Amino acid sequence: MPADPVAIARDLLRCPSVTPAEGGALSFLEGVLKKAGFTVHRMTFSEPGAEDVENFYARIGTQAPHLTFAGHTDVVPTGDEKAWTHPPFAGAIDNGQLYGRGAVDMKGGIACCVAAALDHLAANGGKPKGSISFLITGDEESIAVNGTPKLLAWAAEHGEKFDHCILGEPSNQDELGDTIKIGRRGSLNGTLIVTGKSGHVAYPQRADNPVRGIVTLINALQSEPLDNGSATFQPSNLEFTTIDVGNKTVNLIPDEARARFNIRFNDCHTLESLKALLEQRAAKASGGKIKFAFKFEPSNAGVFVTKPGPFTELVSNAVAEVTGRKPELSTTGGTSDARFITHYCPVVEFGLVGQTMHAIDERVPIADLRALTTIYRKIIDKYFG
């Protein structure tokens, strides 16, 4: 009998693995893959100031080519459980839909690639013509410090070399087969700080209101585009998300104003060149009269792109054969663990439709789980064919 992605997904959904809790999800995968002949390693990584995270690596085969599937079993919190049609960790099936936190992002995708790998092995004497592996982490939904970056470093230290990777994040926009992600913009968080001089509002000449300065700089930073996009990426965008002075007194001019922002940037910039650009624009707008500083948060979210080629064509053809749709090769959306994997091998993202991810009543059509498993199976067959 072929492996059942629905049953695998239900068992994974019943594991309450809210970041960084393992919740039984890795233990379940270990049992399934060991039974199929995979060698499984589980390791916990630590970092001062961050929670410990358990991770998982499983491989079958010792030769090249080596195809790895990557993903995460951790999920975001459920929100108000009473608002769910079905309990978020029940794995309930209703009207052709599988409900549960992580159904789309991304336990459903993991279930499909596991089922596809098991089916391929069963049809080929239990061994691939190369190697198949799984890189599974437990903190993708958090700060991604003790997960994929360290798991990849561990693999490299142990002589593991990957030729290509498929990350099963929910890449599709509206229907299965419409989008393959081949890249992601980078992300940079920061705070603009303007320093003034406090004083009574009735005597503004004795004070220096930082609110005036921060409004001027915000306008200057947003009035001109960061770039016009590139051949593979949409334009970068800077969005201010808070403006704070911490002032509870209406007749007091504050001495400091802060504005937090996020930038999603393309391959026209690096993290360092982007910081320099902001400093230049703010300095020009200040005219030497506004005291300002930027405080940038540490970022491991750089921009990357996997250039179209034989591997992306193989994946695209497999998707088209199953769905009848030629998927768009896209670089839109937020960050993912692909930003780490790209330093080790070419990576593409293809998974389920992302419309209900992180939402109340997160769910996936049973038909999509079966179709995605068929797509992954075709990819594996073509890859080793």
- The total number of residues written for the chain in this structure: 385
Q: How confident is the model at residue 140 (pLDDT cuts 50, 70, 90)?
A: very high
> Using CB atoms within 10 A of its CB, is residue 195 exposed (0-12), middle (13-18) or buried (19+)?
middle
Residue 7's pLDDT is 98
Residue 300's pLDDT is 83
For 41, residues 6+ apart whose C-beta sits below 8 A from its C-beta are 56, 57, 58
Closest CA to 102 of 120, 90, 114: 90
Q: What's the whole-number mean pLDDT along residues 111-136?
A: 97
Residue 299's pLDDT is 87
Contact call for residues 250 and 301 (beta carbons, < 8 A): no
Per-residue pLDDT reduced to its tens digit, 66-84: 999 999 999 999 999 999 9
Q: How confident is the model at residue 302 (pLDDT cuts 50, 70, 90)?
A: confident
Beta bridge partners, 121, equal none
Q: Does residue 290 carry a pLDDT above 90? A: yes
Residue 344's pLDDT is 97
Residue 141's pLDDT is 94
Q: How confident is the model at residue 205 (pLDDT cuts 50, 70, 90)?
A: very high
Q: What's the whole-number mean pLDDT along residues 201-205?
A: 96
Cis, bond preceding 65 (omega within 30 deg of 0): yes
Beta bridge partners, 192, equal 259, 294
From CA 170, how far away is CA 369, in angstroms rounded? 12
Contact call for residues 178 and 328 (beta carbons, < 8 A): yes
From CA 348, how far away is CA 327, in angstroms rounded? 12
Per-residue pLDDT reduced to its tens digit, 156-181: 999 999 999 999 999 999 999 999 99
From CA 205, how far away is CA 197, in angstroms rounded? 10
Closest CA to 96 of 374, 370, 372: 370
- For the question of residue 119 being annotated catalytic, the response is no
- End-to-end CA distance of the chain: give it in Å, rounded: 22
| Residue labelled with tokens 């993202």 | 349
Instruction: Render the burial of 22-43: b for 16+ CB within 10 Å, e for the rest.
Output: bbebbebbbebbeebebebbee
Q: What's the whole-number mean pLDDT along residues 366-372?
A: 98
Q: How confident is the model at residue 311 (pLDDT cuts 50, 70, 90)?
A: very high
Residue 1's pLDDT is 77
- For the question of residue 140 being annotated catalytic, the response is yes
Per-residue pLDDT reduced to its tens digit, 221-271: 999 999 999 999 999 999 999 999 999 999 999 999 999 999 999 999 999
Residue 186's pLDDT is 93
Q: Does residue 217 carry a pLDDT above 90? A: yes
Q: What's the whole-number mean pLDDT along residues 271-288?
A: 97
> Using CB atoms within 10 A of its CB, is residue 82 exposed (0-12), middle (13-18) or buried (19+)?
exposed
What strand order describes the sheet that includes 328-330? 39-47, 50-60, 131-137, 66-72, 164-167, 347-349, 179-181, 328-330
Contact call for residues 64 and 130 (beta carbons, < 8 A): yes
Q: What is the mean pLDDT of the chain?
A: 96
Q: Out of 11, 22, 54, 74, pick the active-site residue.
A: 74
Q: Does residue 334 carry a pLDDT above 90? A: no
Q: Out of 11, 54, 140, 267, pick the active-site residue.
A: 140
Q: What is the pTM of this model?
A: 0.88
Residue 333's pLDDT is 85
> Using CB atoms within 10 A of its CB, is residue 49 exposed (0-12), middle (13-18) or buried (19+)?
exposed
Domains (range + CATH), the chain = 5-184+303-384 (3.40.630.10), 186-296 (3.30.70.360)
Task: Kindly tell me the sign of the dihedral angle through the C-alpha atoms of 241, 76, 117, 170.
Answer: negative
